[in-house]
Structure 1
Amino acid sequence: MYRYSRSYVGPVQAVILDLAGTCIDFGSLAPIQAFLKLFMDEGLEITEAEARGPMGTEKREHIRQLLAMPRIAQAWSEIHGAAPHEDDIERLYQAFLPLQTAAIAERSELISGALELQEFAHNHGIRLGVNTGYSREMFEVMLPALERQGFQPQSIVCATEVPLGRPAPYMSLRGMIELGAQAVQACVKVDDTATGIEEGLNAGMWTVAVVASGNALGLSEEQFFSLSEVERSQRIAVARSKMAQSGAHYVIDSIADLPRVIQCIQEQLQLGVCP
């Protein structure tokens, strides 16, 4: 029988990846496109910074948090003659679904390093899973593209399939169970949002924050590499500082750097160091 131990000294057993901004959709742009269009259709223009604020949460909750922002709430009241309420949230969510589905279909390309990470995990006996603020229906839209590119996670958990989405730990814990990991200390949660890092911390796992490809920078791959080397370094430094505040154990540019970090975590575990 397995016995829980704070001083776990075994190997890394599972890695749980966020999707958009972490292993697909460089810059995490699909949700942003959908949220900007959603509110534009209501006659209310929101900024990209506002749209990114609740990133990582389940999408209905994302809408709720946007409507709770003072500027947006006031603008909504001026347009609609009343403060936003639950019926508005549900109506917006239903309108959001086709917008998000269309955006996802256009932005399901793997981020460089994803397939190499998958091979690294396979070669080291590490099981690889994903979780996401997308619903199962949204995920199914991107699944054929992931399969065509050769990406095949062994666990997929969507925010609508657990009691609470991020920052609650339930998606990570369900992923851990599906992947057969026997200790939270043996699991690594990787995400490009502070909310996703908090999810991993709440689950008791090692956490790795991704900056260059994700929400903290918010640039497409083309925009990112069009920057001068100096400006790119400066913007990455700002994003790293921001994500370091999430409490992540490690901060990396992209999942291309993750195998090295996993090896560092393995060394820590062998010394009896736990998250």
Structure 2
Amino acid sequence: MKYPVELVVFDIAGTTVKDNGEIVVAFHDAMKEYGYSIPIGTIGLLMGYKKPEAIRMMLDEYEPDTAKVTPEFVDAIHERFLELMIEYYSTTNDLSPLPHVEEVFKYLKDKSIKVGLDTGFSRDITDVIIDRLGWVRDGKIDYVESSDEVPAGRPQPYMIQRMMAEAGIEDSSKVIKLGDTEVDVNEGKNAGCLFSIAVTTGAFTKEQLELYEPSFIIDELKELINILEN
């Protein structure tokens, strides 16, 4: 292998787990219940952010009375979003890895490279997804970090740094980050990763991702193997 990589960190929804737009729909429905009709396209651009932060960003744009935008109000909308997402991920028959994801995980593990996941979800949603997929139980991944477990979510580097600490890795140039959104790309850059790779399987198109200058833009995760080998 060409690069001395010790850890690869993947996003979850839209990168390793199929996303059919249910996150955007849950945001839309939760916001609508509180009186805000947010265009789907606007919500899509906020994918990847810590979810309460995304809600606050929507309120900053659509709520003219700034006094109404309190932490308690944001929390109430977030709680409704959580209920909708946990119900979805707990019951759907459509929860599945994206193509070649587990093949890539196996390749990395066979090369003694640690596999991590990080996400803008809070831990309660993350646990439902990971438990149903069995990725920790079956030893397919090593670390999982959620945005509510660190001081700030993406694009801040804290989730990657926390995984590095757990893995005993001090040099961020031995880490690669992959994700499908603007904040994934910038998280990898802010962490000083060797590569911050964007994938077109999720919320952003290739043209949108190009604006954030990722190291590479790929259309499916198995292209990571070619990057590492060649």
Normalising by structure 2, report the TM-score.
0.89
- C-alpha deviation, 1:118, in angstroms: 1.0
- C-alpha deviation, 1:43, in angstroms: 3.5
* 1:191-239, Cα deviation, whole Å (9 max, x unpaired): 100111101100000110011x1111xxxxxxxxxxxxxxxxxxxxxx2
- C-alpha deviation, 1:32, in angstroms: 0.9
Residue aligning to 1:220: none
Task: Assess, with a 3 A threshold, how the Cα gap between structure 1 residues 115 and 151 changes in structure 2: closer, same or farther.
Answer: farther
**Where does structure 2 lack aligned partners over 5 or more consecutive residues?**
none
Larger Rg: 1
Distance 1:174 1:246 in 2: 24
**Where does structure 1 lack aligned partners over 5 or more consecutive residues?**
1-8, 217-238, 265-275
The one-letter amino acid paired with 2:115 is L
Please list, as runs of the form range in 1=range in 2, the aligned pairs for 1:139-150 lying within 5 A after superposition: 139-147=126-134
* 1:117-161, Cα deviation, whole Å (9 max, x unpaired): 011102212111100111111111112221179573100011111
Distance 1:177 1:82 in 2: 40
Matched, 1:163 2:129: no
Q: Is the 8 A contact 1:190 1:210 kept in 2?
A: yes
Residue aligning to 1:209: 198
Residue aligning to 1:131: 118
SS at match of 2:224: helix
Residue aligning to 1:11: 4
- Match of residue 222, structure 2, among 250, 256, 262: 256
Distance 1:23 1:10 in 2: 22
Distance 2:16 2:34 in 1: 32
Residue aligning to 1:179: 167
Aligned-residue Cα RMSD (Å) equals: 2.2
Distance 1:166 1:200 in 2: 9
Residue aligning to 2:101: 114
SS at match of 2:226: helix
Aligned residues: 225
Please list, as runs of the form range in 1=range in 2, the aligned pairs for 1:1-275 lying within 5 A after superposition: 11-27=4-20, 29-69=21-61, 72-74=62-64, 83-105=68-90, 106=92, 107-147=94-134, 152-205=140-193, 206-211=195-200, 213-216=201-204, 239-264=205-230
Distance 2:217 2:184 in 1: 13
The percent identity for this pair of structures is 26
